[in-house]
Copies of this chain bind each other. A is one copy, B any other.
Amino acid sequence: MQKTWRAAFHWGNAETPIDHSIAKHIEYFTQLYNVKTNTSSNLPGNEPIVLKQKSRLKAADLSALTKIVGKENITTDDFSRVRYSAGKFYGDLLKLRAKNPGKIADAVVAPRHEEEILKILQYCSKRKIAVTPFGAGSSVTRALETPKGGIVLDMARHMHRVIEFSPVNSTITVEGGILGPALEKHLNEDGFTCGHFPQSFEYSTVAGWVAARGAGQASTGYGRIEDLTVALRVVTPAGIIETKDYPAASIGPDIKQLFLGSEGVFGVISRVTLKVRRYKPQNTRHVSFFFRNFETATNAMREMMHAQSGVPHLFRISDAEETDVALKMKKLDGTMIDKVLTFLGYREMARCLMLVSVEGDSKYTSLVTKKMKKLARKHGGLAVGSYPVKKWLEQRYSSAYMRDPMMDAGIRIDTIETAVSWEKLHGLHQAVRQYIKAQPQTSCLTHISHVYETGANLYFVFASPMAGPNEAQDFAKFHKGLVDVIFKNGGSLSHHHGIGRLTSDRLREEIGPLAHDILKAIKRQLDPAGIMNPGALNL
């Protein structure tokens, strides 16, 4: 691998060819904004990383840490320091494209065992060296910035072992650094699945899922990571905390919960016991529907969640603009299909597409699908088969590859997501759209993709031409206003991305000063020297 800026910021493997669906999206947006796809070989960031500022780690510290992990597991080279001091937030990408990485780590250390992590944390506590745990780097919330330098722990290098698998308990215990595909491969071979498929699946770790309190694309059926986490082990500067694999308990507050969403501020999640399910893809049923508008679509979705008749695993609605772009991608606008849809009352820029997948026992998947069809009919939905779901599944992870070529072409593309009760959902959706669409030449594609009995998430994808040399400041201002609108309209600061340092200045207001003081008290207890991921969660 070339040690270029591009290799440091590019999503996934920079050599992965862009698939057909992504290519069409890029074509669509470049035409829409009248910008040019950049196919030159001289793309921004193609230069090797060479920094003026070398590692400030003292020789004694380097030597002490080397003694713990072995010299092949510690590096202070420029490329590694840059690559492990950033995630995939739009602002991170702008910085790295500008070859201005800001404050970066002084060394990258790859522990081989829990005991090494403990030694590292104890040493760094004594020496007041900041420590940032790093899974696979997909954070979009500035959780991986290193404002105080220090070291980054590369958890995925060694700590990706499967510790124990119990079909009887329906659990698997793994080290925190295991990546999604390795976990799922291991399980599938034994006829199981974890059911946790975030868009970052290919480049995120189990500990990262836990630390960010994430949710996979099929979370409506499988549950979020907090529902899937049975037990965990966390190495903190004060020692190791292990929770037990009880199916439930009433022994004071659930300590495990403190680390679900902890974003590395209390310690390093070294082991996780996850609930697993039987893998029966042959039973999976897909169905999709057009609704006449977003409101009737969400009404049908909500009724399904309240029907006490089982729930889908994948459950999504694209709002009118997202549906419109999807149809354009398939070149369906203006075709006979479009005309028939319009004739039936499913009009352009009003109609919404709903995707449903149900997994499990064959009779269950049949029942849930039938119930959904019935409720869809009641709300004016038109069933259009499994094809749209299958096409969506094909690009479920690869759509993340879109951003780099879009940015190469001068297009800003980013997302923001929130959770909200059903009562406030439409107000929030409209307010955010109004804010985003008030910007010149801006697309706003919205979907619901994680559904609960009491509400749902809203996921906004926005795109526009970049603001030129002021892009970073312009984007920051835009983003701040966006968070304000979400906040004012009753949405959470995040539904599944976490908050890192991106919106952490709002956390105290979000959860209240007393609750934030509790987090501080826990931090003092577990990390008295304040070395763990300083600044994340505003701690």
Interface of A toward B, CB cutoff 8 Å: 166, 168-171, 212-215, 224, 226, 230, 236, 238-255, 257-263, 275, 277-278, 280, 302, 305-310, 359-361, 363-364, 367, 370-371, 419-423, 450, 452-457, 492-499, 507, 510-512, 514-515, 517-522, 524-526, 537
Contact = CB atoms under 8 A, between A and B. Distances in A.
Contact of A246 (B224, B252, B361, B455): B455
A171 B454 contact: yes
A372 to B, nearest CB: 12
A214 B248 CA distance: 10
Given A170-B454, A371-B361, A249 B517 contact: no
Contacts of A247: 419-421, 452-457
A263 to B, nearest CB: 7
A512 B249 contact: no
Contact of A260 (B224, B254, B521): B254
A511 B255 contact: yes
Contacts of A212: 250
A420 B262 CA distance: 27
Nearest to A170: B453
Contacts of A363: 309, 367, 370-371
A517 B420 CA distance: 34
Contacts of A511: 243, 251-252, 255
A272 to B, nearest CB: 14
Contacts of A259: 253
A316 B254 CA distance: 25
Contacts of A280: 308
B360 A454 contact: no
Contacts of A254: 213, 226, 257, 260-261
Contacts of A166: 421, 423
Contact of A518 (B309, B453, B526): B526
Nearest to A255: B515
A276 to B, nearest CB: 9
A248 B524 contact: no
A370 B278 CA distance: 20
Given A255-B518, A421-B245, A497 B250 contact: yes
A455 B246 CA distance: 7
Contacts of A224: 248
The oligomer's copy count stands at: 2
B236 A514 contact: yes
A169 B423 contact: yes
B257 A253 contact: yes
A518 B258 contact: yes
A171 B514 CA distance: 25
A248 B171 contact: no
A386 B419 CA distance: 42
A242 B516 CA distance: 12
Nearest to A536: B252
B275 A361 contact: no
Contacts of A517: 238, 525
A514 B527 CA distance: 12
Contacts of A170: 305-306, 422, 453-454
Contacts of A499: 250-252
B525 A521 contact: yes
Nearest to A359: B308
B251 A262 contact: no
Nearest to A239: B514
Given A247-B453, A253-B519, 18 more contacts: A169-B421, A213-B252, A215-B248, A236-B514, A240-B514, A245-B421, A246-B419, A247-B452, A250-B499, A252-B511, A253-B258, A253-B259, A253-B261, A255-B515, A258-B518, A307-B360, A309-B360, A522-B522
Contacts of A262: 252-253
B252 A263 contact: yes
Contact of A278 (B230, B238, B257, B306): B306
A490 to B, nearest CB: 8
A302 B171 CA distance: 13
A139 to B, nearest CB: 12
B525 A518 contact: yes
A513 to B, nearest CB: 8
A262 to B, nearest CB: 6
A511 B243 CA distance: 7
A512 B245 CA distance: 14
Nearest to A497: B250
Of residues A169, A250, A499, which shows the largest number of chain B Cβ atoms within 10 Å of its Cβ? A250
7 contacts: A170-B422, A212-B250, A248-B496, A250-B492, A252-B263, A361-B371, A518-B522
Nearest to A503: B251
A310 B366 CA distance: 12
